[in-house]
Structure 1
C-alpha cells in the first residue's frame, strides 16, 4: 500500500518583523535543509486555529523579532503495510534532515495506485508477475550484506 503522509514542523526563524516574512524565510530554510535529498517533499504553510474559538490564525507566532512557524511537509511513502509504518518512515526521512525541529504526524491517507491493479495481473503461464521481487532485494539479504 502507498500512503500520503502530512507532517507538521515547528520551524524557528530569527530577525523577522512580519508573519509573511517569517513564513517565507521558514519555507526557504526548510527547502534548503531538505534538498537535494528530499526534493519530493512538498512544503506548505501550516493551518493553525485558536483552541478556544476555532478561529483561523497566522501560521507564524512572533515575539521579540523571533518567530515559530508552522509548516506542513507532505510526502508519499511507498510499499508499507500499515499507516503507522508510513508515519515512522516519513518522520525518520524528514527528521534526519531537519535537526532540532519538532515534527508531528497530522494525516495519513492511503493512495489508490494504478500499480496495485498491475500487480494482480497474471502472465501467460498463469503465474503472478514478480517485477517487485526482481528489482528490490529482500530485507534479509540487505541485512546479510
Structure 2
C-alpha cells in the first residue's frame, strides 16, 4: 500500500517584519534543510483557522521581529502496512532533517495502486523513498552488464 502523508511543521524565523517575509524565509529555510536528501517533499503554506469562529488566519505569527510559520510538508511513502506506519515513516524521515521543529501529521491518504508498477523497485529498505529511486535503478540496469555475461567473456 502506498500513502500520501501531509505533515504540519512549526518553523521559527528571526529578524522578520511581515508575515509574507516570514513565510518566504521559512520555506527557503525548510527547503535547505530537506535538500538534497528529501528533495521530493513538497513544501506548502499551511492553512490555519480559528478554533472558535472558524475564520481563516495568517500562516505566520510575528512578535518582536520573530515569527512562527505553519508549513505543510507532503510526501509519498511506499510499501507500508497501514496508515499509522506511513505517518511514522514520514515523521521520521522529515524529523531527522528538521531538528527542533515540531511536526504533526495532518493527513494520510491511501494512493490507489494501478497494478502495472512493481512496488518493490520503488521502495527502500524502510519503505520511505520516492519512486525516483526506482527510476534510477532502472537506468543503472541498462548500463551495467549481467554478472553471468561478464563470466562468459
| TM-score w.r.t. length of structure 1 | 0.81
1:81 matched residue in structure 2: 81
1:42 matched residue in structure 2: 42
1:136 CA displacement: 7.3
1:113 CA displacement: 2.5
Q: Structure 2 CA distance, aligned partners of 1:44 and 1:102? A: 16
User: Which residue, out of 108, 115, 120, partners 1:132?
Assistant: 120
Q: Structure 2 CA distance, aligned partners of 1:132 and 1:111? A: 16
Q: Compared with structure 1, are the counterparts of its residues 131 and 30 closer, same or farther at alpha carbon in structure 2 (3 Å cutoff)? A: closer
Q: Structure 2 CA distance, aligned partners of 1:131 and 1:96? A: 25
2:70 matched residue in structure 1: 70
Q: Structure 1: state its 5+ residue gaps.
A: 120-129, 138-145
1:143 matched residue in structure 2: none
Q: Structure 1 CA distance, aligned partners of 2:104 and 2:87? A: 9
2:15 matched residue in structure 1: 15
Instruction: Report the count of equivalent residues.
Output: 124
Per mean C-alpha deviation after superposition, the further-off stretch among 48-57 and 5-14 is: 48-57
Contact kept, 8 Å, 2:78 with 2:119, in 1: the verdict is no
Q: Structure 2 CA distance, aligned partners of 1:100 and 1:67? A: 15
